[in-house]
Amino acid sequence: MPDFSAKDVQKLRQMTGVGMLDARNALVETGGDLDQAGTLLREKGLASQAKRADRDASEGAVAIGHAPGVVSIVQLRSETDFVAKSDQFVAFASTLADLVAAEGEAAVEGKADEIDTLKITLKENISVGRVVRIEAPVGGVVDSYLHLQAGRGVNAVVVALEGGTEDLAHDIAAHIAFARPSYVTRDEVPESEVAAERETVEKIARNEGKPEGQLPKIVDGRLNGWYKERVLLDQPYVKDEKQTIAKLLGPAKVTQFAQVVVGD
């Protein structure tokens, strides 16, 4: 007769997330000692996981966490969207995001053991990707937008405003999710990027045979279009392209924003 019961097998499964046969074999090997069996399964699981460490983890989920005056984003990466859409994976990403909002970006380091357990349970290369934590400016607000796909977050944005409302911050965040700007203002764009683009569009205009006297106006026009792709304040608002984000904001000011997208 084995030195353990069916309840021991069930308890070990709950502790480790392994299947019934693996749990039973581990208990047999350790003479029914639950703690030793748990350690044995963990060691075996992590050894197997090491073989998967080089696999591409380009899938996953992003989650948003909240604390008073703070919003965070955590990206949890996986190999497949099948795992990324699982309830266990999505719930853990959300737990990490709430932890970061409450305690800071370094808080995810304390969850290393749980991440290892998740790797074993789900049998994939799983890791934490980008971690973002943004606080509302003094007297300002912070809000977010999360785009869901098949129950998991795939596109998360956080925006902090001075002189605005949470509703406005949410609207700006939703716009960013789809327009994907890189900068808030033109001043933030590196001069080297602007100079390189100016040179490129000028060469294109010359190759098109545009009149020399019209080149400055043509180049400036094309640069304006280039800025609209990258600079938040220059972009037409996705819900009303007749107004720019700058006009939508009015006297409010975007002090900070962050966007995290699955696969980026």
Pair 180, 198 in one domain? no
pLDDT at 131 over 50: yes
pLDDT at 43 over 80: no
| 107 found inside a domain | yes
Q: How far apart are CA 107 and CA 98, in angstroms?
A: 10
Q: Are 3 and 31 in contact (CB under 8 A)?
A: yes
pLDDT digits (tens, 9 = 90+) for 133-174: 999 999 999 999 999 999 999 999 999 999 999 999 999 999
Pair 48, 64 in one domain? no
Pair 120, 225 in one domain? no
| pLDDT computed for residue 46 by the predictor | 46
Q: Could you tell me the residue range of the domain that residue 205 belongs to? A: 190-230
Give the pTM: 0.77
> Residues 182-194: what's their mean pLDDT?
95
Pair 237, 223 in one domain? no
What CATH number has the domain bearing residue 202? 1.10.286
pLDDT at 79 over 80: yes
| 195 found inside a domain | yes
Using 50, 70 and 90 to split pLDDT, how confident is the model at 30? confident
| pLDDT computed for residue 172 by the predictor | 98
Pair 138, 91 in one domain? yes
pLDDT digits (tens, 9 = 90+) for 190-236: 999 999 999 998 999 888 888 888 888 998 999 999 999 999 999 99
Pair 117, 160 in one domain? yes
Pair 15, 46 in one domain? yes
| pLDDT computed for residue 47 by the predictor | 41
Q: Are 116 and 66 in contact (CB under 8 A)?
A: no
Pair 36, 139 in one domain? no
| pLDDT computed for residue 54 by the predictor | 52
Q: How far apart are CA 179 and CA 26, in angstroms?
A: 52
| pLDDT computed for residue 146 by the predictor | 98
Q: Are 59 and 43 in contact (CB under 8 A)?
A: no
Pair 130, 163 in one domain? yes
Q: How far apart are CA 181 and CA 171, in angstroms?
A: 14
pLDDT at 126 over 60: yes
